[in-house]
Copies of this chain bind each other. A is one copy, B any other.
């Protein structure tokens, strides 16, 4: 195996230069501040977790987990989501704290093999978990907070598609009873938004024509509240109907949150985590193919950590939002370069301190051998790779000579 070159980093991993970091930090700060305003308090959990606990509960496929052994021979994973680690904390360190719990996070997340699809193997998520509340209002709060968070991040045009895993499950159990493999194939098509493949699958199954039409009809179940009424007629399965009733109540609350213009019901939505048990949603920015936020209800995950409780939450895909937003303009304030010689140093450093206390960014440089004075252009000064709004020279030696010549 050829050794990597000295300047290389592993594939799928990124360096973020100052302009990108400034923007990423701004998104992080604004979104966490928004979440804090809704009463969500921030947590930090370790990057490494046990494979047998959080690794398994995270429902990330084994091939996508970064695994390593500790010196005791236990398998550790780099966290592949934050929902499972927070479920662990809620069941241990926060065991004695009453529900409902509102927790937030900003964290880096890891998925091995993603680089093969051109995706990041390490990326950032900013999200919340609302634990202990089974109500449609709790789901609506999460969706409304996702809307507020996307706005806080600076995303102006987006849609959130909400669905319910129980609807599709009920419909498929009714129309394709005990045909698990066929059900899985159809679900996989919907998860990948491969509607052509979905129709193809339906044609290949030996279904009565009215059943095939029913299953094809769900592709058209996208829209506002009227979708709930249409879906109610489509299936008499009890689970499917209960799911639609829950979704209607979420919708009603979203109308009262004043965010329904951003939301549409999409009953083909099933969510990308196997632990979802109820409402799920994905947020799409206009003209952007990948979801920028996703979430849903997971009422069975907490019981895996010994404290059964209903829960709902979402994560914003912070990197994708970073890609959406333009950056590059220096949003910082005044930036001053101060150059000095040995005799002018004390005065120069004092001036730098004074300006910094006023909030000005100040770089100080000794004018030694190799010092190249800044280049002036457009009223600014370019020095090194940086542009400065002002340049001061503290030439103590020259001043002294001038004084003694007088």
A9-17, A175-183, A199-207, A221-229 - the one binding chain B: A9-17
A65-73, A188-196, A284-292 - the one binding chain B: A65-73
Of B3, B14, B121, B305, which contacts A6 at CB under 8 A?
A: B305
Asked if residues A361 and B6 are in contact (CB atoms below 8 Å), the reply is no
A275 interface residue (CB < 8 Å to B): no
A135 interface residue (CB < 8 Å to B): yes
Residue of B nearest to A19 (CB): B41
Of B1, B42, B306, which contacts A21 at CB under 8 A?
A: B42
A interface, size bucket: 35 or more
Of B8, B47, B349, which contacts A78 at CB under 8 A?
A: B47
Of B74, B122, B305, which contacts A48 at CB under 8 A?
A: B122
In the complex, A393 Cα to B346 Cα: how many Å?
Answer: 62
In the complex, A360 Cα to B305 Cα: how many Å?
Answer: 34
Answer whether A14 and B368 are a contact pair too, CB < 8 Å, given A53-B6, A100-B384, A345-B256.
no
A32-40, A160-168, A230-238, A266-274 - the one binding chain B: A32-40
In the complex, A10 Cα to B85 Cα: how many Å?
Answer: 12
Answer whether A38 and B362 are a contact pair too, CB < 8 Å, given A89-B15, A256-B345.
yes
Asked if residues A10 and B91 are in contact (CB atoms below 8 Å), the reply is no
In the complex, A157 Cα to B84 Cα: how many Å?
Answer: 41
Contacting residues of chain A (113-139) with chain B, CB-CB under 8 angstroms = 113, 121-122, 135, 137
A93 interface residue (CB < 8 Å to B): yes
Asked if residues A39 and B335 are in contact (CB atoms below 8 Å), the reply is yes
Minimum Cβ distance to chain B for residue A54 (Å):
8
Answer whether A385 and B97 are a contact pair too, CB < 8 Å, given A42-B18, A356-B37, A362-B38.
yes
Asked if residues B7 and A88 are in contact (CB atoms below 8 Å), the reply is yes
A98 interface residue (CB < 8 Å to B): yes
Minimum Cβ distance to chain B for residue A28 (Å):
10
Asked if residues B47 and A122 are in contact (CB atoms below 8 Å), the reply is yes
Minimum Cβ distance to chain B for residue A393 (Å):
15
Asked if residues A113 and B71 are in contact (CB atoms below 8 Å), the reply is yes
Minimum Cβ distance to chain B for residue A391 (Å):
13
The interface residues of chain B lying within 8 Å CB-to-CB of A350 are 258
In the complex, A53 Cα to B94 Cα: how many Å?
Answer: 41
The interface residues of chain B lying within 8 Å CB-to-CB of A9 are 45-46, 49-50, 53-54, 88
Q: Interface centre among A6, A36, A364, A366, by most B CB within 10 Å?
A: A6
Minimum Cβ distance to chain B for residue A102 (Å):
7
A141 interface residue (CB < 8 Å to B): yes
Asked if residues B4 and A100 are in contact (CB atoms below 8 Å), the reply is no
Minimum Cβ distance to chain B for residue A335 (Å):
7
Asked if residues A362 and B10 are in contact (CB atoms below 8 Å), the reply is no
Asked if residues B6 and A36 are in contact (CB atoms below 8 Å), the reply is no
Answer whether A41 and B68 are a contact pair too, CB < 8 Å, given A50-B9, A101-B385, A141-B364.
no
In the complex, A9 Cα to B346 Cα: how many Å?
Answer: 52
Answer whether A43 and B67 are a contact pair too, CB < 8 Å, given A9-B49, A385-B101.
no
A328 interface residue (CB < 8 Å to B): no
Residue of B nearest to A73 (CB): B1
A99 interface residue (CB < 8 Å to B): yes
A386 interface residue (CB < 8 Å to B): yes
The interface residues of chain B lying within 8 Å CB-to-CB of A73 are 1
Between A and B, 6 residue pairs with Cβ closer than 8 Å are A10-B74, A15-B45, A15-B89, A68-B68, A70-B112, A97-B385
A-B interface, 5 closest residue pairs, ranked by CB to CB distance from nearest: A39-B363, A13-B46, A18-B41, A97-B385, A68-B68
Knowing that A5-B53, A9-B46 touch, tell me 4 more A-B residue pairs with CB under 8 angstroms: A6-B304, A15-B89, A47-B122, A135-B368
